[in-house]
Amino acid sequence: MKQLMLKPTIYKYDTCKKFADEFHIEKGDLVITNEYIYEPFFGKMDLECDVIFQEKYGAGEPSDDMAEAIYKDIKGEHKRIIAIGGGTVIDISKLFALKYVSPILDLYDGKLPIEKDKELVLVPTTCGTGSEVTNIAILALNSRGTKKGLAVDEMYGDSAVLIPELLKGLPFRFFATSSIDALVHAVESSLSPKGNEYTRMFGYKAIDMILHGYMEIREKGPEARIPLLDRFLVASNYAGIAFGNAGCAAVHALSYPLGATYHVAHGESNYAMFTRVMKNYMEIRQDGEIAKLNAFIADILGCDVENVYESLEDLLNILIPKKALHEYGVTEQDLVEFTDSVMTNQGRLMANNFVELDRDRVYKIYKELF
């Protein structure tokens, strides 16, 4: 049985200049990024590559409409796709390493052949997605009102490049939402039935690094994150390796309808579901991996195991105050539709749950969070 897949070669550079020099970014390369990232870090290098700024095609989470619009604007032949950005940029860029991309809905429905015909270089600018080491691209399918992931080995990057310099301008709120996303990746993959000692090694290390970083921020204030950005970037990468192999589960599955319908940032929508899903797992089963994980987290936080989720939520609330679902505009009717959406569209994720969650349980979780 396969234990661990780590496809991209991982590189790390102190500066963007060193990265650009060593990777010889040139004509025939397509860089997909954001203007606010490209101009300060790469704008003065006079690179001869083609550049597309993702934000010109829409804000927020990646969608099928956004990907189609970018695809229509890609001109000429490219040998290499270089994604420099957060989850939106990286997930969309993975698609463009494929030979057959459009119609996007056909691609996600398995109606197009999957064939990679370009080299893929992935450079994260947040400390959350871990997408630089996974084969997954998650899009909001706007016509269907949900998100869906496409996971194929042809979308692994050839290179994953960590450049801590790129995180220095990341506003605190984006730092918080992205790093909470990484924490959820690490926790869900550690509980997944597909997990093993290798994936849990990366997952537990990511949890340790992230929570200790949060505790330092709690003690010293938001600016304390600046010297820790390197640590958070690596922790996100570890969490990406863990969930890229063992998968995410119900926290992500339940967050997708909220994120897609009310345009809530991915990390924040995960946070909205996080501890309530964990508590519901515990109502069904208290032993096994969840007992080990709870003890591990409680030891880091210095609390009793019985209070681990309350203590974890207290810590995360310092980064982002948690909201009830109705505060996002969610209605009671939405809870039914969200539940239906999860049960219909998120089988890939729900298969990775620590214990099985049926329709009644999913609705119960939403109701408790309302």
Partnered with residue 10 across adjacent β-strands are: 160
CA 363, CA 333: separation in Å to the nearest integer?
Answer: 11
* Residue 318: burial class (beta carbons within 10 Å; 0-12, 13-18, 19+): middle
Cα–Cα distance for residue pair 140/273, rounded to 1 Å = 18
User: In 3-state terms, what secondary structure has residue 88?
Assistant: helix
With CA atoms as reference, report the closest residue to 130 among 169, 95, 156.
156
CA distances to 235, 239, 249, 273, 294 from 190, in Å: 14, 10, 10, 17, 11
> What pLDDT sits at residue 332?
98
Global confidence as pTM: 0.94
Distances (CA, A) of 270 to 42, 98, 154, 254: 32, 29, 27, 8
Q: Which pLDDT tens digits describe the chain residue by residue (370 residues)?
A: 889 999 999 999 999 999 999 999 999 999 999 999 999 999 999 999 999 999 999 988 899 999 999 999 999 999 999 999 999 999 999 999 999 999 999 999 999 999 999 999 999 999 998 999 999 999 999 888 778 889 999 999 999 999 999 998 899 999 999 999 999 999 999 999 999 999 999 999 999 999 999 999 999 999 999 999 999 999 999 999 999 999 999 999 999 999 989 999 899 999 999 999 999 999 999 999 999 999 999 999 999 999 999 999 999 999 999 999 999 999 999 999 999 999 999 999 999 999 999 999 999 999 999 9
Longest CA pairwise span in the chain (Å): 60
> How far is 2 from 46, CA to CA, in rounded Å?
44
Best CA proximity match to 195, nearest among 209, 206, 179: 206
